[in-house]
Amino acid sequence: MSDGSRDDEPYDYVIVGGGTAGCVLAARLSEDPDCRVCVVEDGPSDVGDERVLRLRNWINLLETEYDYGYTTVEQPRGNSHIVHSRARVLGGCSSHNTLISFVPFPQDLREWVELGAEGWDPETVLPYRARLQNTIQPVAEKDRNAIAHDFVTAAVDTLDVPVVDDFNAHPFTDGAGFFSLAYDPATGHRSSASVAYLHPVLTRPNLTLKLESRAYRLMRAGDGRLTRVLVRGADGTDVTVRAERELLLCAGAVDTPRLLMLSGIGPAGHLREVGVDVLADVPGVGENLLDHPESVIVWETGPLPPNSAMDSDAGLFVRRDPREPGPDLMFHFYQVPFTANTERLGYPTPPHGVCMTPNIPKSRSRGRIWLRGPDPGTQPALDFRYFTDPEGHDERTVVDGLRIAREVAATGPLRDWLVREVAPGPGLTTDEELSEYGRRAAHTVYHPAGTCRMGADGDPLAVLDPQLRLRGERGVRVVDASVFPTLPTVNPMVTVLLAAERAVDLITGRAAPQRGGAGADGPPGSHRTPGTPGTPGTHGTEGTPGTQGMER
């Protein structure tokens, strides 16, 4: 049956999504000059685009042409006005976010194994650190402004937590310090997945980038494998792209399950309700939606020092419950007044200010994604079900966080910078008042995950097996944050990079890095040149960023 597109374009591997994971797969798989790799990316290139490349400009990318701007459905116990930014540009969210970079904690990976993700233990996954191409390092001294220094000092003195010089040096339970970022301090540019992995290899003749091209339906090939994808280019022309080896879905925790459901792969009852023909009944697609929600407390200040890497350079971790293996409360310290949600609640925006954002590292609320209809142009419905966990853990974490933030703010030397608490204001003191404010002012740090999670054979809601293969199908895998069974305690970008590096070995059969080697304990991102030990090929630095092999 004709689908109205041009004849199939064959490649060995077709990667849907040129984001954080997709860039890693494209660079690694195309190291073999005989392997034809195609990346289908809905957004434009980031090459030479200073708006994208300058890390400190991240906040000005929100709700622009680089952002899908997905909204949430009504949140009875949270904030119904959150816009979930998902990047529409080469490099995905690593071209759009703050690039705060944490290696996942060993206990987070052990939790995955306990939930059926065999082979994702820390002894297997953490050595992939040695393969990361991104330049990851603590915020450079020139970018450490005085008020951020004083925040760290106040947090350490108030809470009796250690100063952490490098959050990636070893696992920790609490502490305050400057974050590690994937960036170049000399230029202020990102070391995103696209910059680190793709820019050096764009001249490879076996690598094709279909930019500003949207994949909107998966189809079976003649042999029954799910390896064909219908793509609409910027000119409105449809083409069917075929993977002769494997189709790799890397569109992220929103768009990967969305694409599967639009293709008829998902909960059969829901698909029929919205008018999509069922290709395969996979109940877990779109379920288990995870996030790191956080609230905000705002202070007015006088003019602040101008130097910063990205205006949220330092943070604090607290372990309230000593039974927990790691921190159970996190704070970002913003050196700008982040007031999008407090303004809506009627609070003023000071001309100068700082914020602390009590963040829930291991949120226990679970949501889901579903289709509103069969039209690929219609946004999906996102329901994070914020603050609905029956034990009240998430709500309590935010209340505790607001109280702890006030304690830190009342301590010198940070106290000397602060003029007044703007939101929620010192008049709100009870648990009930702080909970109501904290939930209504809550936001996201844009970490959706879990919507195509991997798991054991007997798990009816596991979409993937631990090899990242779509259950019940041949020829297709998923490689992005949607595969996570649970969300890592820390910001998940490095976990996505590690998962992508591991996926290359699962796809190609290449040997994994040695367990217990330097990669398990050394700092991440210490390598800039592909062809590190254990990786095939040494031509990762060939050429300069260009447009050969790229399609507009």
- Hey, which residues are catalytic here? 447
Is residue 170 exposed (0-12), middle (13-18) or buried (19+ Cβ within 10 Å)? exposed
| Cα 544 to Cα 501: distance, rounded to the nearest angstrom | 23
| Helix, strand, coil % in the chain, rounded to nearest 5 | 25, 20, 50
Is the distance from CB of 300 to CB of 493 less than 8 angstroms?
A: no
DSSP per position, 429-474: -SHHHHHHHHHHT-EE-S--B-TT-B--TT-TT--B-TT-BBTT-S
CB neighbour class for 374 (10 Å; exposed up to 12, middle 13-18, buried from 19): middle
Taking the C-alpha atoms of residue 292 and residue 449, their distance in angstroms, rounded to an integer, is 10
- Is residue 253 within 8 A of residue 289, CB to CB? The reply is yes
* Number of neighbouring beta carbons within 10 Å of residue 274: 16
Angle (CA) 76 78 83, round 5°: 110
Q: Answer yes or no: are the C-beta atoms of 101 and 181 closer than 8 Å.
A: yes
Q: Which of 346, 547, 531 is nearest to 441 (CA)?
A: 346
Residues 6+ apart with CB under 8 A from 191: 99, 134, 135, 136, 182, 183, 184, 525
**Beta strands at 136-138 and 6-16: parallel, antiparallel or unpaired:** unpaired
DSSP code per residue over 505-547? HHHH-PPPPPTTSHHHHSPTT---SS--TT-S-S-TT-S-S--
Type and span of the H or E element at 320: none
Q: Are strands 83-84 and 70-71 parallel, antiparallel or unpaired?
A: antiparallel
